[in-house]
A and B are shown apart, each in its own frame.
Chain A
């Protein structure tokens, strides 16, 4: 702490507390001009790539992107030519449990909307570092699924060692786990009780939020503040979403009909696997995001999925199942450490292996812009577009080919990883 204070004294700080830098691309530093054989821009609608492209970074943000031949190098800019390598946006993970001390599976109560994963963060820890070395720049660090509502997730950047630098948004989400794990809770609840109790929690939370909305709109006596229900105010304003561990057909159906339809709360499918794909048509009709993993397949093994009785004859790709029913907003997650954080790109690769159509870069988009949109961060990260934060990766080729690897990572214009110094894998 003394060291950082001394640094603050030595360097001139901006009004926002950011330290001026002499490093190109960083806040206060010279302009950085990055040239690559291919830039995966990954915008949601559009080609999604530029051959022989360039990206201009200034003060931690993307200023311009285009074809190298058409994008002039600004005066004073430092040019970094990446040769045959590609440039792409940082990867966004929406189901991460490795950003802290794993003190995030409290099971005293069955629903815990007041608990916060942010109280448990160890910014820039080793597991995050290794994930960053695979290109994962933004994570939604969420409570476990030991109960139905584990608490509030927090959105973080992976490359910074202090919480203030790492935080992107808190609350990042409200973590809901409808079934599959909370059955292990001490009184061994089953789906009927869990569903009732979850509904009850949500109705109370919404009632609380509505009381505050009424107060804010019309005045009167301020309601009594209750940290247990505060998150619902953010949810009602879509400033946070419900990230729901939902995977089995009947359970995903409840996500759609109860959380979305009946309660009107913004929600995305997270940790989507097993035979949840059979709800695809309903997911598409509602425009709900499907973030899938860690198991990319629905397997013909009676012991594994006997509860659903699905799919006896073949291995069904989960992403392919959603896609075949018209769902476009498909992304991928790891559930790290269940799947190591650095294997997020592999999740997309396995989606493709098991039938997910990838003709228009759906795998790349499912790692970047789709999860960014799902949590409402798409104005900040998820694609290479002017105005966004410079969260960028230099990679040897298509990230959905697991044989490709990341050479450099920038976050907010700061180069947080360089394999040339020391490759982490």
Chain B
């Protein structure tokens, strides 16, 4: 009995020891998402002292990737200035302003940089899976980011320009993820948003956490309890900020819930089995009304796809694009010998907002796909039946994840006003055989096979 109560005490968050105080604490914490605005302002400042000309990119085909509207513009030009897309259109219709550098990409296709919402490659994974407590909403993946990390270079060469770098799933709440550009020499260059998300892993891996090896009932209770505390904390702060209620005591463990409640960050949830995805919908979306998306969606989670569609919960799927029929405790999947494409099943249930992720931890290996294999995830979705007639596979690695993470005003499609994060490929970027030849990040060339050594 004593042992059990110690167990509960340990499970129940890190407790008062982490209460924040002091002058050094950055104000951005309370405001929720810090936008990397300072970094942008700084780079604009630099641009002001050294005026860069605009850039006109000519391509055989441009994949626009906006959620609605035509997918492709043939024989197109994209105008870029100050790191931002200024115009896009047919070469005969869009005038290239005087003074612009022109780069003719010949037969190459131009697409928005790809976005991976389940990535662990901005640093070594060991530092991302702290397992002292079972729920850790106060931890931040941002503390360990290594600019230029080898697998981030692979990401660039594979056309992945934005990643949600998140803690592992060794516990139910690994901490806050951070949204990063994959190129950039410094953290400030890379930062898109911190917190990028709160990482939730409902089941499948946290069971391995010793010494107690929790199972779904206890994990679910403890996760609910953490959500309840966090939401209550955030409501007190919002009541203070908006309604003049007394200033609550600061608790770093729960600050991320302020961002969630303001819908400035989302819960990115490693959720895959039908029962577990069902809990994502009923617990996180319906009971706590927090912004959430299905991440790392695989196995038979498709069985609740219809409900996810009704609730408007975006589904980001991978790294396993198929549900294989088998039967063992925790998984009873009867598909009568057939493989089901997970994305195809979501689509068949009427789900229209399907994206793809890798769960990359390093190079492609038995540990899973490499960061550069995001396009392959979408291709495998198509292989296993996902209808791609309207370009849903490319949208699934661009605009759909951008919307899921709330960064679609800046990235995810080639539209005026968005960051010029662009990739040029030899053909359809959804065809894994099509190599990436050129990558621009905020208008700057960061990978160019015409001059750089190919990474693969």
Residue of A nearest to B384 (CB): A425
- B: interface residue count bin: 20 to 34
Which of these, B154, B338, B380, B393, contacts A423 with CB under 8 Å? B338
> Chain A 327-353, CB within 8 Å of chain B: the 1/0 string?
000000000000000100010011011
Are A355 and B456 in contact, CB atoms less than 8 angstroms apart? yes
Residue of A nearest to B432 (CB): A353
- Does A317 sit within 8 A of B, measured CB to CB? yes
Are B340 and A425 in contact, CB atoms less than 8 angstroms apart? yes
Chain A residues with CB under 8 Å of B453's CB are 313-314
Which of B154, B430, B433 gathers the greatest number of chain A CB atoms within 10 Å?
B433
A304-B365, A315-B363, A425-B322 known; A126 vs B337 contact (CB < 8 Å) = yes
- Does B385 sit within 8 A of A, measured CB to CB? yes
A313-B453, A314-B453 known; A358 vs B362 contact (CB < 8 Å) = no
A301-B362, A422-B338 known; A349 vs B432 contact (CB < 8 Å) = yes
- Could you tell me the distance between the alpha carbons of A130 and B338 in the complex, rounded to whole angstroms? 7
Shortest beta-carbon distance from B369 to chain A in Å: 11
Chain A residues with CB under 8 Å of B245's CB are none
Chain A residues with CB under 8 Å of B150's CB are 300
- Does B435 sit within 8 A of A, measured CB to CB? yes
Chain A residues with CB under 8 Å of B340's CB are 425
Residue of B nearest to A356 (CB): B433
> Chain A 131-160, CB within 8 Å of chain B: the 1/0 string?
000000000000000000000000000000
- Does B431 sit within 8 A of A, measured CB to CB? yes
Chain B residues with CB under 8 Å of A353's CB are 376, 432-433, 435, 456
> Chain B 103-146, CB within 8 Å of chain A: the 1/0 string?
00000000000000000000000000000000000000000000
Are A403 and B456 in contact, CB atoms less than 8 angstroms apart? no
Which of these, B341, B376, B435, contacts A425 with CB under 8 Å? B341
- Could you tell me the distance between the alpha carbons of A401 and B456 in the complex, rounded to whole angstroms? 18
- Does A186 sit within 8 A of B, measured CB to CB? no
Chain A residues with CB under 8 Å of B388's CB are 403
Which residues of B, 340-369, contact A by the 8 Å Cβ criterion? Answer: 340-341, 362-365
Are B380 and A402 in contact, CB atoms less than 8 angstroms apart? yes
Are A315 and B383 in contact, CB atoms less than 8 angstroms apart? no
- Could you tell me the distance between the alpha carbons of A158 and B363 in the complex, rounded to whole angstroms? 33
- Does A299 sit within 8 A of B, measured CB to CB? yes
Are A314 and B338 in contact, CB atoms less than 8 angstroms apart? no
Are B385 and A297 in contact, CB atoms less than 8 angstroms apart? no
- Could you tell me the distance between the alpha carbons of A352 and B456 in the complex, rounded to whole angstroms? 10
Are A130 and B379 in contact, CB atoms less than 8 angstroms apart? no
- Could you tell me the distance between the alpha carbons of A402 and B430 in the complex, rounded to whole angstroms? 10
Are A315 and B379 in contact, CB atoms less than 8 angstroms apart? no
Chain B residues with CB under 8 Å of A404's CB are 383
Which residues of B, 200-220, contact A by the 8 Å Cβ criterion? Answer: none
> Chain A 405-424, CB within 8 Å of chain B: the 1/0 string?
10000000000000000111
- Does A31 sit within 8 A of B, measured CB to CB? no
A352-B433, A403-B430 known; A424 vs B338 contact (CB < 8 Å) = yes
Shortest beta-carbon distance from B316 to chain A in Å: 19
Which residues of A, 95-144, contact B by the 8 Å Cβ criterion? Answer: 126, 129-130
- A: interface residue count bin: 20 to 34
Which of these, A316, A401, A422, contacts B433 with CB under 8 Å? A401
Which residues of A, 272-322, contact B by the 8 Å Cβ criterion? Answer: 295, 297, 299-301, 304, 313-317
- Does B455 sit within 8 A of A, measured CB to CB? yes
- Could you tell me the distance between the alpha carbons of A317 and B384 in the complex, rounded to whole angstroms? 25
Shortest beta-carbon distance from B105 to chain A in Å: 20
Which of these, A129, A304, A314, contacts B456 with CB under 8 Å? A314
Residue of A nearest to B157 (CB): A315
Chain B residues with CB under 8 Å of A300's CB are 150, 363
Chain A residues with CB under 8 Å of B385's CB are 405, 423, 425
- Could you tell me the distance between the alpha carbons of A146 and B174 in the complex, rounded to whole angstroms? 38
Which residues of A, 351-402, contact B by the 8 Å Cβ criterion? Answer: 352-355, 358, 400-402
- Could you tell me the distance between the alpha carbons of A423 and B384 in the complex, rounded to whole angstroms? 10
Residue of A nearest to B363 (CB): A299
- Could you tell me the distance between the alpha carbons of A315 and B153 in the complex, rounded to whole angstroms? 11
Are B383 and A403 in contact, CB atoms less than 8 angstroms apart? yes
Residue of A nearest to B154 (CB): A315
Chain B residues with CB under 8 Å of A358's CB are 433
- Could you tell me the distance between the alpha carbons of A317 and B432 in the complex, rounded to whole angstroms? 14
Which residues of B, 403-456, contact A by the 8 Å Cβ criterion? Answer: 430-433, 435, 453-456
Which of these, B380, B382, B455, contacts A314 with CB under 8 Å? B455
- Could you tell me the distance between the alpha carbons of A423 and B337 in the complex, rounded to whole angstroms? 10
Are A425 and B431 in contact, CB atoms less than 8 angstroms apart? no
- Could you tell me the distance between the alpha carbons of A130 and B326 in the complex, rounded to whole angstroms? 14
Chain A residues with CB under 8 Å of B37's CB are none
- Does B46 sit within 8 A of A, measured CB to CB? no
- Could you tell me the distance between the alpha carbons of A353 and B431 in the complex, rounded to whole angstroms? 9
Chain A residues with CB under 8 Å of B380's CB are 346, 402
Are B322 and A317 in contact, CB atoms less than 8 angstroms apart? no
Are A297 and B432 in contact, CB atoms less than 8 angstroms apart? no
- Could you tell me the distance between the alpha carbons of A350 and B383 in the complex, rounded to whole angstroms? 14
- Could you tell me the distance between the alpha carbons of A346 and B364 in the complex, rounded to whole angstroms? 14
- Could you tell me the distance between the alpha carbons of A55 and B379 in the complex, rounded to whole angstroms? 30
Shortest beta-carbon distance from A293 to chain B in Å: 12
Shortest beta-carbon distance from B415 to chain A in Å: 26
Which of these, B383, B393, B431, B456, contacts A297 with CB under 8 Å? B456
Which of B364, B365, B383 gathers the greatest number of chain A CB atoms within 10 Å?
B383
- Could you tell me the distance between the alpha carbons of A130 and B324 in the complex, rounded to whole angstroms? 11
The 9 closest A-B pairs by CB, nearest first: A425-B339, A315-B456, A299-B363, A403-B382, A352-B433, A402-B383, A353-B432, A314-B455, A354-B456
Offer 8 A-B interface pairs, CB within 8 angstroms, sorted by A.
A130-B338, A297-B363, A304-B363, A314-B455, A317-B456, A403-B393, A403-B430, A424-B337
